[in-house]
Amino acid sequence: MAIKRIIPCLDVKDGRVVKGINFVNLRDAGDPAEFARVYSEQGADELVVLDITATHEGRRTFTDVVSRVAAAISIPFTVGGGIHELADVERLLAAGATKVSLNSAALRNPQLVNDIAERFGSQVCVAAIDARLDSDGWYCYVNGGRKRVERTLFDWAREVADRGAGEILFTSMDHDGVKQGFPNDALARLAETVNVPVIASGGAGAKEHFADAFRLGHADAALAASVFHFGEILIPELKQYLAAEGIEVRL
């Protein structure tokens, strides 16, 4: 079994970390650079920093956040939100990001995935997929989960991997913030569908949920936000638990 990664996620709005449930009801959680520093010191393997309301006006604010996070940590971090063209990728990488995450922009312009992979390397391009289990199957959503598109989770994941995305970050909108566990059946199917690492997102509420995502969902990494932000799960304790369960993690 390859080493499994634990990834805290910072959702940033107007320069502050926020957290909600099912993508709504946001509450302020604190300063992103301070969170990043603490997580880096606690042993997080990577970070994800998302500008969740990436309007054109907010880009300068968010670039400043990325620079401050980069200065505070010594681990890789992925940045997402408001990325529409190669110039956006260049700006964020120049500010210190290690990778970029694409969601709505990739669905609207799939060629952008190819372009980023060709220009910067597949390892820089993370395809983020927000999906929900509807009555007719798992479908992708854009605009922060507000609008369904007629692409299924598994077909779209296969396409972005074929186009050069180096990782898939799959968030189950049904599980987001609910703390009842990750969507392990969908994760396992996703792991069979693509030949790139899959990051599980949406549903962490207990240490056992992480173990299940790795064992049952065959995820390569697990991402969480509120359980880390509000001290419900401490990363060092989580990693000790996973190691005791026979799951290989970096201690």
Long-range contacts of 188-195 (CB under 8 A, 24+ apart): 188/216, 188/217, 188/218, 189/154, 190/153, 190/154, 190/157, 191/217, 191/218, 191/219, 192/218, 193/154, 193/157, 193/158, 194/157, 194/158, 194/161, 194/168, 195/161
How many of the other CB atoms lie within 10 Å of CB of 1? 9
Long-range contacts of 211-214 (CB under 8 A, 24+ apart): 211/241, 211/242, 211/245, 211/247, 212/181, 212/182, 212/184, 213/182, 213/184, 213/187, 214/1, 214/4, 214/242, 214/247
CB 187 within 8 A of CB 151: no
11 is catalytic: yes
Q: Which of 11, 45, 88, 220 is catalytic?
A: 11
Q: Which of 88, 130, 176, 212 is catalytic?
A: 130
45 is catalytic: no
Active site residues: 11, 130
